[in-house]
Amino acid sequence: MDKKIFNTLYEKALKARENAYAPYSNFKVGAALLTEDNEIFVGCNVENASYGLSICAERNAIFSANAAGKRKYKGLVVVADTEGPVSPCGACRQVIYEFGDYEVVLTNLQGDIKETTSKELLPYGFNGDDLNEKK
C-alpha cells in the first residue's frame, strides 16, 4: 500500500479505535477502509452485555461503507494493541472477502505491519458463486 495512503488510513483507524466500546474485553480495535472512489469509512468494535452480539471494527467499517452504497474497496487498515500486527477473526475475514480483492494492512500501536490482501486472508474462501452451482 502507498505510504501516504497508509499513513492517512492508520491515523483514521487509530482515531476510530478510541471510540471502541469494549467494556467487557478491554480490547479496542480500529479500522479504516478506503473505497475505490477515495472515500474513507471507519469502524471500531462495539461490544454488548450479551457478548455474542458484539461487532468487530473491520465489519463495522465495511457495513458503514455499505450503508453509504460503497462496495468497491482499495484498502483496509486495522489496528489494535497487540504484540504483533492484529489478526482479524474468521467472521471478519469472510465479510472482508465478500467485496473483492483489495489490500489489507494489519498493524498495532507500535506500527508493526503485515501487508496482506482480502483473498490471502481467507484461503479457499466461500463466495456467492458456489450458491448457483447446483442449479
Ligand X SMILES: O=c1ccn([C@H]2C[C@H](O)[C@@H](CO)O2)c(=O)[nH]1
User: Does residue 86 contact residue 104 with C-beta atoms inside 8 Å?
Assistant: no
| Nearest distance, CB of residue 22 and ligand X, angstroms | 5
| Nearest distance, CB of residue 131 and Zn ion, angstroms | 23
Q: Which stretch binds Zn ion (CB under 5 A): 10-18, 19-27, 60-68, 82-90?
A: 82-90
Decide if 18 is catalytic: no
Written as one string, the DSSP assignment of 7-23 is HHHHHHHHHHHHT-B-T
| Nearest distance, CB of residue 81 and ligand X, angstroms | 10
CA distance 111 to 134: 46
> According to CB under 6 A, which one of 2, 27, 48, 110 is a site residue for ligand X?
27
From residue 121, how far is each of 33, 49, 102, 106 by CA, in Å? 16, 29, 11, 11
User: Which residues fall in the annotated binding site for Zn(2+)?
Assistant: 56, 89, 92
Residues forming the site for Zn ion (CB under 5 A): 56, 89, 92
